[in-house]
Amino acid sequence: MKTYPIATGILLATIAAPGPAQAADQPEVEDLPQITITDPNRDLFRLALPGAVGDADLAAAATDIERRDLDLVGLFRVLNPESFPDSLVKEGLGFSSDLWSQVGAQGVSKLRATRDGGGVALEGRLYQIGRGESAVLTKTYRGPEVRPLVHMWANDVIMQFTGLRGVFGSRIAFAMTGKNPEIATVGMDGQELKVVTQMRSECLLPALSPSGGQIAFNSYLRGGADLWLVSASGGRARHISDRPGLNTGPAWLPGGNALVATLSFEGNADLYKISAADGKVIARLTDSPGNDLSAAVSPGGDQIAFVSDRQGTPQIYLMSSSGGGARRVTYQGSYNQTPRFCPRKETPIIAFTGRDERNVFDIFLHDMRTGKNDRVTQGQGSNYDPAWSPDGRLLVYASSRGGLFVMNLQTHKEFRIYKGGAKNPSWGPPPADFK
């Protein structure tokens, strides 16, 4: 019997050793690609973020939140505020294009945060060198707290430069490890951690629903790998599948009414479509001699990627969401797992975890059009369990370095957003005003 840590959290001792026919049919695999890490700040747009003005405590908080947001997204080279002369620091919301160009800025973002009745008012102005003295973007936001208002401003700044709003305000679910192995969520900026389960038992493989309102996950509370649902805001979890054997690896289908999960009550570990309401089996999707796990649903809901050892080693396969006709898509590397589709339909790319020839796990991208694999991480421990941001710009993943890391795929700029033990991140939907 072989043991594979497929789905990074469920250890399977049920994967049978391949028979002679499987070994003979297995294609020869190539080594996974290598990368060269270059300076992530090279050629980034130089953005100045002087301190916010207004009520002192709100302004200080707004300054810190904006700088982390616009640094974290990996699209800008945020200039060191210590390089700004006093004349610019005291400028308020005004703007001198010539003076800011002298400190190397290509753009300048300014904020004013003040109390507004029982809430907060945030005014933002964005200036661009070479576009005159008037702001290219002016917005005012009101709400009960400053953090979500600054997130909205950061999203609008990103929209101004890229044509697509940022996704600050979205949340990431993950499985905590160590002494408190519950399911938690955290803002994509690494703030506002919330533990949402109270199972007092190991919890794994959270999957945020399409609306962001529910989390499907695994728990061993009753001894086996069972499926549960819990509100994303926390509360009492609801049991939806406790069939004999495995009930694991939930992936939501569009609409949030059904899940794809691995069940083994009929013998093999296969993929099934089940009701999110009561766990009732709607359809069996695979029926192979291997074990099929770690399902991911495409953004259009028409395809499912999954991991199978049906040809001897864990590899990624693709099939219709109605089941059947699976085809293998990874041939580089002998151990590939945790596939996740890019959420942008026009970008047919699957992120996955691969083990290289040195037995190190790293994050890779598989281009479904060309069949090419590109390496995302390398040389910094093992990295695994990728999950996409709702706009397809960023990946979050767990690391042997400890915690969760976010990377901009264009610049390879990386930040740690959670320092505790963590695995199996799932990135939820974008903010309600995402366009």
What one-character-per-residue DSSP string does 180-236 give? ---EEEEETTS---EE----SS-EEEEEE-TTSSEEEEEE-TTSS-EEEEEETT---
pLDDT at 9: 39
CATH number at residue 127: 3.40.50.10070
Q: What is the largest CA-CA distance in the chain?
A: 77
Mean residue pLDDT of the chain comes to 90
**Do 197 and 106 fall into the same domain?**
no
Q: What range does the domain containing 116 cover? A: 45-162
Task: Provide the pairing of β-strand 45-48 with 76-78.
Answer: parallel
Q: What is the C-alpha to C-alpha distance for residues 322 and 334, in angstroms, rounded to an integer?
A: 28
Same domain, 120 and 146: yes
Three-state SS for 93-123 is CCCCHHHHHHCCCCEEEEEEEEEECCEEEEE
Please give the pLDDT value at position 17: 28
Q: What pLDDT, on the 0 to 100 scale, is given for residue 33?
A: 63
296 in the same domain as 211: yes
Residue 344's pLDDT band, with cuts at 50, 70 and 90, is: very high
Residue 219 lies in a domain: yes
The answer to whether 334 touches 2, Cβ cutoff 8 Å, is no
User: Which band of pLDDT confidence, cut at 50, 70 and 90, is reported for residue 260?
Assistant: very high
Question: Residue 20: its pLDDT value, please?
Answer: 31
Q: What percentage of the chain exceeds 90 in pLDDT?
A: 80
CB distance 288 to 270 below 8 Å: yes
Domain boundary among 137, 162, 187: 162
Both structure tokens of 30:
């190539």
Of the CA atoms within 13 Å of residue 27, those in its CB half-sphere come to: 12
Rounded to 10 degrees, the C-alpha dihedral 223/228/230/236 comes to -50
| CATH number of the domain enclosing 345 | 2.120.10.30
Mean pLDDT of 273-283: 97
Q: Which of 80-89, 310-319, 401-410 has the lowest mean pLDDT?
A: 80-89
pLDDT of residue 22: 37
103: pLDDT strictly greater than 50:
yes
Position 410 scores a pLDDT of: 86
Let me know whether 136 and 218 are in one domain. no
Average pLDDT, integer, range 340-348? 95
Average pLDDT over residues 405-433: 93
Does any domain span residue 24?
A: no
Are both 155 and 181 inside the same structural domain? no
Instruction: Indicate whether 218 belongs to any domain.
Output: yes
First-last CA distance in the chain: 50
Alpha carbon distance 148, 53 (integer Å): 18
Q: How many domains does the chain have?
A: 2
Of 102, 129, 162, the domain-final residue: 162
